[in-house]
Structure 1
């Protein structure tokens, strides 16, 4: 029965988000079709042009390899790896999500960013409040892929800096080790 409820909720969200404009404060829709190319663009955009195409090819090759869909439902269906590309650096970590409470924590060397929302604590929107170890604050808006277990997002800090977000096992496999080995972020 819980699986049926999750599928019904996802279907309703997909229908609503496809028919209505995003609510105020959101960068995009709640659910969308995300292609391997879209994941690659977000994960590689920070690289110089000569490295961008090689990185994008590696991401697309990763998606071409057959991989079993053997992750069990339950905790893995709403938690997993996340990558945040901020200031030309890839921050890696984990997200945990549900419709009412979501959080993430990513690191790059000694630097980190984390964010979340909690409807039980008064959050009225699914926009994640974000704070980073360098003192910057902002907000992140996540969009789920149609499978509901992966997706993309955008982080916007108060100083105008923007960062790309990719999350889920399909896009990243796992955060450690980073699957795109040639583009593993060096620690500072």
Structure 2
């Protein structure tokens, strides 16, 4: 086993992106949180207001000997719409932007290459931003592992997450946990 690494991605609602990445072999944890804004220790309500500058994001802990950062990026681009500026579907605002927060120069290079690979799958230009890594604020406890705990009782989650999981299973079945 290689030393675990971190990846930080924002692809709209963190409940929806977390649900996808928790399915992957080699991922030992996914934490929902906030990044890329100016307010220290923001609350969910503050981030939802759109005034803090933060994105709803996930921090993925993964074993690169099992799943590569490139694989995580390919899954990221395939399971959300990276062509929508500051939104995902009905979720509108900079807090729902598509963004990658590289942890080092190698991840930054990989992010640019991943975006170029993904562009072939999208008829519109990808608007995902590559932003500097900044202070990470874990979301409140009730947001963590939301899909597995409460998602099936939330109509929003039931409308958004199953299609993402279906795309994941169809295109990346070889990357799923056994």
* TM-score by shorter chain over 0.5: no
Where on the TM-score scale, by shorter chain, does this alignment land: which range?
under 0.3
Structure with max Cα Rg: 1
Larger RCO (CA within 8 A; separation ≥ 6): 2
1 or 2, which has the higher strand percentage?
Answer: 1
Structure with greater proportional helix content:
2
- Tell me the TM-score normalised to structure 2 length: 0.25
